[in-house]
Copies of this chain bind each other. A is one copy, B any other.
Amino acid sequence: MFSKRCEYAIKIMTFIAHQQKKSNKKVDVDAISKAIDSPKAFTAKILQDLVKSDLLVSTRGRFGGFSLSAQIDINLKQIIEAIDGHKLLEGCLLGFGACSEKNPCVVHHQLKSAREILKLKLRDTNLEIIAKRVNEKNAYFKE
């Protein structure tokens, strides 16, 4: 469903949110990739994308690192769209360019509601909720 980049992005944001809730300090690439068990250089690339999409703020130089741009009020939909664009949630499921409500592909109307609900759930799930789960040890972002 999600690309690998998306998976990492969600883990990255979860970790940063979790850390900030505890200490409010910036987090660096090395700490992130260790915490979420992801390849460091690849993680750095994804972090750049998240900065470009304004979900994170980066600080260069010594004692620099990454922090949430809007503290805890960032949701999964924003993260996914920052990384994979609108393909997953808006694009035609069969890849047609001109597929729409009025000119639908064979699965468009059949799967419309399911997608809507997915979209709602993604929008309703923000980092606050996720960090809370982690904090209460009800869920993990690293196996």
Contacts and interface: CB of A to CB of B under 8 A. Distances in A.
A12 to B, nearest CB: 11
**In this complex, which of A1, A7, A122, A125 has the most chain B Cβ atoms within 10 angstroms of its Cβ?**
A1
Q: On chain A, which size bracket covers the interface?
A: 35 or more
A118 interface: yes
A1 B125 contact: no
A129 interface: yes
Interface of A: 1-2, 4, 7, 10-11, 14, 76, 88, 93-99, 104-111, 113-115, 117-118, 120-122, 124-125, 129-130, 133-134, 138-141, 143
A117 B113 contact: yes
Given A1-B88, A7-B94, A118-B118, A141 B111 contact: no
